[in-house]
C-alpha cells in the first residue's frame, strides 16, 4: 500500500491563516486547532495577569502578554501560550506580528484538549529554544508546576498547591498567593 505524508506546515504557511477564531498553533509542523477555553481557565488567566500586571506597574522589569499572541520559536513551531513574560533586556523580540523568539517565562493552563501538547512537544520546544521558566497550571488539581527548563525540562523544580505561595527569580519582589490565582 502506498502511503504519502503531507509536508510539514511552516511558519510562513501559518502566517496565511485568517486572523480570528478558532485559535491555531503550529506544533512541530502540524497545525493544531483548539476550542476556546472554559470559564475557570479564563478566571485563572485573568487573575494571574492582573497580579503580574500590578507588579509590573510598580516594578517595570518587562512586559506580559496573554493569548492569543503568536510566539515564533522556529520554522515549525508557533505557539499561543496562555501568558508570557518578556524581561526588559529582551524586549527586542517583540514584533508587530507577535513574539520572535523565546519569552523568559511561559504559562500554560492545562485543559483536556491542550494537556498532551503542553506537557509533551511544547514543553520540549520551549526548553530547546531558550525559555527560562515554564509554569504549568492544572485547574483540576489546583497546582502550579514550575520548570526551570535549562536545568531540567522533564521535572519541575517545585509543584505548588492552591494554599501555597510562588516566587520566581524572573519576577523579583513578587510573591503570588495561589489562592488568589484560583479564585473563581
The string of pLDDT tens digits covering residues 71-113 is 999 999 999 999 999 999 999 999 999 999 999 999 999 998 8
Structural element, H or E, at residue 66: strand 62-66
When the pLDDT of each residue in the chain is averaged and rounded to a whole number, the result is 92
pLDDT band at residue 138 under the 50/70/90 scheme: very high
More confident site: 8 or 1: 8
Do 76 and 128 touch, CB atoms closer than 8 A? no
Range with the poorest average pLDDT among 23-32, 126-135, 141-150, 169-178: 23-32
Question: Cell digits for 164?
Answer: 501555597
Q: Are strands 62-66 and 94-95 parallel, antiparallel or unpaired?
A: unpaired
Q: Is the pLDDT of residue 17 over 60?
A: yes
Residue whose C-alpha cell reads 519541575 in the numeric block:
156
Question: For the segment 40-72, what is each residue's pLDDT rounded down to a tens digit?
Answer: 999 999 999 999 999 999 999 999 999 999 999
Q: Is the pLDDT of residue 15 over 90?
A: no
Rounded CA-CA distance 61/48 in Å is: 17
Which domains can be identified in the chain, with CATH numbers? 11-181 (3.90.1570.10)
Would you give the DSSP letter of residue 68? Answer: S
What pLDDT, on a 0 to 100 scale, did the predictor assign at position 9? 75
Structural element, H or E, at residue 115: helix 115-118
Do 83 and 48 touch, CB atoms closer than 8 A? yes
Amino acid at each position: 500500500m502506498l502511503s504519502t505524508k503531507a509536508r510539514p506546515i511552516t511558519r510562513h504557511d501559518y502566517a496565511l491563516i485568517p486572523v480570528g477564531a478558532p485559535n491555531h498553533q503550529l506544533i512541530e509542523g502540524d497545525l493544531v486547532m483548539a476550542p476556546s477555553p472554559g470559564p475557570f481557565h479564563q478566571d485563572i488567566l485573568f487573575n494571574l495577569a492582573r497580579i503580574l500586571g500590578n507588579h509590573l506597574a510598580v516594578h517595570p522589569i518587562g512586559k506580559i502578554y496573554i493569548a492569543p499572541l503568536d510566539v515564533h520559536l522556529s520554522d515549525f513551531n508557533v505557539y499561543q501560550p496562555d501568558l508570557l513574560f518578556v524581561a526588559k533586556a529582551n524586549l527586542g523580540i517583540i514584533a508587530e506580528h507577535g513574539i520572535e523568539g523565546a519569552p523568559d517565562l511561559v504559562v500554560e493552563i492545562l485543559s483536556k484538549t491542550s494537556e498532551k501538547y503542553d506537557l509533551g512537544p511544547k514543553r520540549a520546544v520551549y526548553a530547546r529554544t531558550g525559555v527560562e521558566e515554564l509554569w504549568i497550571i492544572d485547574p483540576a488539581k489546583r497546582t502550579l508546576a514550575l520548570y526551570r527548563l535549562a536545568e531540567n525540562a522533564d521535572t519541575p523544580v517545585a509543584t505548588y498547591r492552591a494554599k501555597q505561595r510562588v516566587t520566581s527569580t524572573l519576577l523579583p519582589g513578587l510573591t503570588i498567593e495561589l489562592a488568589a490565582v484560583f479564585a473563581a
